[in-house]
Amino acid sequence: MKLKRLSIGTFNLYNLNEPGLSIYTDKTGWSQEEYDRKIDWTSRTIRLLRPDIFGFQELWHSASIERALTESGIAGEYDLIVPENANGERIVCAAIGRKGLIIGEPEWIKRFPEKFILESSGDDPQTPAISVSIPSFSRPVLHFSVRPREDHEPIHVYVCHFKSKGPTKVLQEDWFEADGAIYKKHATSIGAAISTIRRTAEAAALRFILTEQMKGTRTPVIVLGDINDGQHSNTVNILTEQPRYLVGDSLGGGDVSLYTAQTLQEYRSTRDVYYTHVHQDIMESLDHILVSEEFYDNSRRRVWMFDGMTVNNDHLNFDDHKEAGTTDHGVICATFKYRPIKAEAQEIADGPA
């Protein structure tokens, strides 16, 4: 396979489960009519965008995504990556890849790396000690490899879904019930802090995995999914390591850096209208595609050049996603064209044919 273009998408499926199965505390889940609308909208979105790689979040049941893919009419173009035990009882990440693109076996990473530690005695005399003991991801991270060109290294893809911004529910915790009169008025702030700590730990744990894989190598990496935080948030900064974006003919690139498709698009746009989620009338970008320096235009090690990003978010103008069958997140896709930096330099040096 020697693709000249590679397209990548991420799609939060908004609790896609079989009808009648419970979703969190909702014991009855989707009705048959609601489910049919979800399958219809999901299948049409897949058919409309048709990226080479599509990462999914908030999938509960493998049969649901199989049905959506079948109804899209293009199931024969893709291989589906979904865990064997996706039976409607828990949330998983999944993906589809164009036929012939996926190599090897996928894995779902549940546990944080063994050597990963979040602990400090304080870096100055005024700073108290801190220790965070979270052992695993809220949603296992899907990891698989693709090879769009046989003359280059495989690309490692990670599909993630981090803890949401919603406050963690603490009402039934022993410490809360023991002194509810005090804690009731603080439940929202404490719950939000717990969610933030968990999401931050998940970002740091995935960054640990990425650095171990990328440091001192030429391994291309794509991270995509519902990170549940904005482009310049601490969560995303941990994942990307905040690389410098160059301009003009400057060349650079970071060995372990990740570059956001949102920023790459902003360098080509006169106006930023990117958002993938609306909460209390606040528009945010929670869903991201992050790429290593092999996909960065100004990298000395560039293999793929950014060629644009689309954000399907018109459905976010309407609140009743159950009625419409839509997701509550925007669906984003980024496209890259095969343009190795050395080949481009040689083409310029050779001049017109």
* Mean local confidence (pLDDT), 103-118: 97
- For the segment 305-319, the average pLDDT, to the nearest whole number, is 94
User: What value does the mean pLDDT take over residues 224-247?
Assistant: 94
Q: How confident is the model at residue 273 (pLDDT cuts 50, 70, 90)?
A: confident
pLDDT of residue 345: 58
Look at residue 351 in the predicted model and tell me its pLDDT. 63
pLDDT at 349 over 70: no
Enclosing H/E stretch for 302 = none
pLDDT higher than threshold 70 for residue 152:
yes
| Whether residue 353 has pLDDT greater than 70 | no
pLDDT at 344: 61
Of 123-127, 270-274, 331-335, minimum mean pLDDT range: 270-274
**What pLDDT, in 10s, does the model give residues 253-269?**
989 999 999 999 998 88
pTM above 0.85, yes or no: yes
Mean of pLDDT over the chain? 94
Q: How large is the average pLDDT for residues 105-127?
A: 95
- pLDDT digits over 32-82, tens only? 999 999 999 999 999 999 999 999 999 999 999 999 999 999 999 999 999
Mean pLDDT of 107-133: 95
Q: What is the per-residue DSSP string for 118-148?
A: EEES-SSTTSPPEEE---EEEEEEEEEEE-S
The pLDDT assigned to 329 comes to: 96
DSSP code at position 113: P
Q: Cα–Cα distance between 36 and 169 in angstroms, integer?
A: 31
Q: Measuring CA to CA, which residue among 295, 337, 228 is closest to residue 10?
A: 228
Give the separation between CA 279 and CA 256, rounded to whole angstroms: 33
The yes-or-no verdict on residue 145 having pLDDT over 80 is yes
Quick one: what percent of the chain has pLDDT higher than 70? 97
CB 65 within 8 A of CB 55: no
pLDDT on residue 346 = 63
Which pLDDT tens digit goes with each residue over 181-215?
Answer: 999 999 999 999 999 999 999 999 999 999 999 99
pLDDT at 319: 84
Q: Which domains does the chain have, with CATH numbers?
A: 5-111+139-166+200-350 (3.60.10.10)
CB 162 within 8 A of CB 234: no
Q: pLDDT tens across 283-303, in order?
A: 999 999 999 999 999 999 999
